[in-house]
Amino acid sequence: MPIPAPNLSPPFNIVRLSHVELRVTDLDWARGFYVDTLGLQVTHEDADAIYLRAMEERGHHCLILRRAEAGSVGSLGFKLWSDEDLDKAAHWFAARDLPVAWIDRPFMGRVLATRDPFGVPLEFYAQMDRLPPIHQQYRLYRGVRPLRIDHFNLFSSNVDESVAFYSDIGFRVTEYTEDAETGRTWAAWMHRKGGVHDIAFTNGTGPRLHHVAFWVPTPLNIIDLLDLMSTTGYLDNIERGPGRHGISNAFFLYIRDKDGHRTEIYCSDYQTIDPDHEPIKWDLKDPQRQTLWGAPAPRSWFELGSVFDGAALVDSDLTSQPIIAP
């Protein structure tokens, strides 16, 4: 299907992605992984949850680790421009018979909880507690030195429908993969903040979270993390990489935690700020789309993801597959 034209006058103004809540079965293990190994900074901690931010972030948190009986994803969060946009968003979702609830969240102002048409739990807000800057407190830098949350990638049972919905609320496509045999979109990358993407969709059983990504200064930070993980008991948590994507041109590494939640460590992509940026089209059979260089992605990377709380899974009827490592 054709990629929709950018909606430059969306019904409400989304600034960027903001945060994700991951449900984890072992909070102590998760702390060792995300804090002591990756290097995210603790901003609040209690018996049931840990709130984290990256080094350049002023908002209170970009990642919430919450104790649970099973691993899952609680919600994806997005920052809006103003309280007025928050009210506009509530009206827009309600007009489409999508759930609307105002909920209390620690360290945040008004929070609108809703779901997209596919069941993904979403949170929108305009105000979050601001913390002092720490980006020049170099004694705090450790692990992979994450600077900021960069994007979410989701499995979608119908990528064209996902792209259409998120285009309606102002996300713009930067790159996409087309299945030439059917003319359907197999994957798409969409942004608000001017990078390659805030959210992306990959064909598969969905909705599920494929990964959350953190942006780091250089590829050498990724090499340092690999050295650290391989010598501190986390070798088996390395899933794919390092390598460079054709799409986004990013240098990458994929790792998975004890509950299977996947994190991409990501750098060296490009800016797409101009509203008339033309999307880059890739063919599904082009092996360099997902790996410009490096080992092909393993089967787990195409099949495994984290479920969203309360979202029913739907299989995709698009059975075309890219190259998969044996």
CATH number of the domain encompassing residue 121:
3.10.180.10
Tokens of 231: 């010598």
Q: Which of 80, 106, 130 is the last residue of a domain?
A: 130
- Domain co-membership, 80 together with 204: no
Query: Facing residues of 39 across strands?
Result: none
Q: What is the pLDDT along the chain (326 residues), one digit of tens a residue?
A: 789 999 999 999 999 999 999 999 999 999 999 999 999 999 999 999 999 999 999 999 999 999 999 999 999 999 999 999 999 999 999 999 999 999 999 999 999 999 999 999 999 999 999 999 999 999 999 999 999 999 999 999 999 999 999 999 999 999 999 999 999 999 999 999 999 999 999 999 999 999 999 999 999 999 999 999 999 999 999 999 999 999 999 999 999 999 999 999 999 999 999 999 999 999 999 989 989 999 988 989 999 999 999 999 999 999 888 876 65
Inter-CA distances, 112 with 100, 109, 123, 233, Å: 7, 10, 6, 40
Tokens 């994507």 belong to 245
Clarify whether residues 39 and 180 are in a common domain.
no
pLDDT at position 326 is: 56
Give the domain extent around 32.
Answer: 14-130
Are the C-beta atoms of residues 119 and 311 closer than 8 Å to each other? yes
Alpha helices in 169-307 (DSSP H): 219-230, 299-303
Using a 10 angstrom Cβ sphere, with 0-12 exposed, 13-18 middle and 19 or more buried, the burial of residue 69 is exposed
Q: Of 130, 162, 178, which residue constitutes the final position of a domain?
A: 130
Same domain as 178, residue 272:
yes
DSSP per-residue letters across 150-209: EEEEEEES-HHHHHHHHHHTT-EEEEEEEETTTTEEEEEEEESSSSS-SEEEEESSBSEE
State the DSSP H helix or E strand holding residue 75, giving kind and residue range, or none if neither: strand 72-80
The torsion region of residue 239 among left (phi > 0), alpha (psi -120 to 50) and beta comes to alpha
Place of tokens 């991409």: 264
pTM of this prediction exceeds 0.95: yes
- Measured CA angle at 17 (ends 16, 20), to 5 deg: 165
In a domain, 96, yes or no: yes
Q: Which of 305, 322, 318, 309 is nearest to 153 (CA)?
A: 305
Has residue 71 been placed in a domain?
Answer: yes
Q: Within 10 Å of residue 204's Cβ, how many Cβ atoms? A: 24
Same domain, 251 and 284: yes
Domain count, the chain: 2
Q: What whole-number distance in Å separates Cα of residue 127 and Cα of residue 266?
A: 27
User: 303 and 156, same structural domain?
Assistant: yes
Any domain includes 83: yes
Residue 1 corresponds to which amino acid? M
- Residues 266, 231, single domain; the answer is yes
Judge if the upstream peptide bond of residue 298 is cis by omega within 30 degrees of 0: no
* Residue 44: predicted pLDDT: 98
| Bond from prior residue into 242 cis (ω within 30 degrees of 0) | yes
